[in-house]
Amino acid sequence: MGTVTLAEAKTHLSQLLEEIEAGEEIVITRRGIPIARLSAVESPKKPFRPLADFRRRLPAWRKPSADLVRDLRNEGH
Q: What is the per-residue pLDDT for 35?
A: 96
Domains of the chain listed by start with CATH number: 2-38 (3.40.1620)
* pLDDT tens readout for residues 16-74: 999 999 999 999 999 999 999 999 988 767 767 788 888 888 888 788 888 888 988 99
Q: Which residues of 29-52 are buried (b: 16+ CB within 10 A; e: fewer)?
A: eeeeeeeeebeeeeeeeeeeeeee
pLDDT at 37: 95
Q: Measured between alpha carbons, how far apart are the two ends of the chain, in Å?
A: 58
